[in-house]
Amino acid sequence: MIQLCNVGKIYANGAPALHDINLKIPSGDFVYVTGSSGAGKSTLLRLLYCAEKPSRGQILMGGRNTTRLNSRNIALLRRDIGFVFQDFKLLNNRSVFENVALPLQVQAVSKQEIGTRVYQVLQYVGLEYKLQRKPLELSGGEQQRVAIARAMVVNPRLLLADEPTGNLDHDLAVEIMEMFNRINESGTTVLIATHDQEMLQRFPRRSIVLHDGNIVADSNPPAPEPAQEIC
């Protein structure tokens, strides 16, 4: 469960980014954070993975107040979170295998287990045959799948994605969204910041709409109408 209580964020230059945000995201949920550019979507995500501290309010994740964590505990918290970004954030001088193995190396997982888990997750995203390639030798969609594999290799409880389809064409975006759905079905909480309305309509889920740092809507998709029996 993620809970935000009266969270506000004002940047050091005085620019307000979020106002009085109250939010509850149950475990296993799939949530979109949407809104126009500058609405505060990325700031909300940055607060969730502790890249920023809120100017006021509390953020609870799994019962822990993340605003009071020191840098070591923040690092430990992030081991339970997977990240996917619009610009992939891959290390271009390392192979696909090395990029995906990185979170496991950080957690001092044994070499044998790293090999097994990285191969499995690359199979999951369909890139097991490109594990020796460097990211820049791959297409945008493939790079994003590597980023997803890196996020998934640690079996995170939460997956945060910031505009994950922003750099991809329509077909690749659909492919990536389908992958997020499958990840969510396996029990991972997924939170995606996006302004891609087409994806929101194609994969309808709970949507939190931000505008000028305020939540202006928080809605679930309409339940599918029950099929009428024809007598």
Partner 1 sequence: MERLRYFFQRTMFSMRQNPLLCSATIGTVAIALMLLAFFTLIVLNIQNLAREWSRDIQVVVYLDQVPSEQKLQEWMDEIHQYPDIEQINYVSQQQAFDRFHARLGQNSDLLEGLMPEILPASLEISLTESARSRTGTERLIELLKSNSDFHNFRYGQEWLDRYDAFIFLLKLTGTMAGGFLIFATLFIISNTIKLTIYARRDELEIMGLIGATPMFIKTPFMAEGALQGAIGAAIALGGCHILYYFFLKNGLAALLTTATVENIQFLPIEYQGGIILLGLFLGLIGSLLPLRKFVRI
Pattern 127-156, binding to partner 1, x per CB under 8 A?
A: -----------------------x---x--
CB atoms within 10 A of CB 146: 26
91 binds partner 1 (CB under 8 A): yes
CA 130 → CA 142, 143, 171, distances in Å?
9, 11, 20
| Out of 93, 120, 123, 139, the residue judged to bind partner 1 by CB under 8 A | 93
* DSSP of 105-117: HHTT--HHHHHHH
* Structure-block tokens of residue 197: 């309305």
Minimum distance from CB of 194 to partner 1 (Å)? 19
78, 50 Cβ separation under 8 angstroms: yes
Closest-CA residue to 47 (of 77, 72, 90)? 77
Strand partners, 5: 58
Alpha carbons 147 and 178: distance in angstroms, whole number: 15
Q: How many residues in the shown chain lie near partner 1 by CB under 8 A?
A: 27
Pattern 9-48, binding to partner 1, x per CB under 8 A?
A: ----------------------------------------
Length reported for the chain = 231
Beta carbon nearer to partner 1, 45 or 199: 45
Angle, vertex CA 179, rays to CA 31 and CA 60, nearest 5: 35
Beta carbon nearer to partner 1, 10 or 74: 74
| Out of 111, 197, 222, 226, the residue judged to bind partner 1 by CB under 8 A | 111
Question: Near partner 1 by CB under 8 A, which window of 23-31, 97-105, 127-135, 210-218?
Answer: 97-105
Residues that bind partner 1 (CB under 8 A): 49-50, 71-72, 74-79, 81, 83, 89-91, 93, 102-103, 105-111, 150, 154
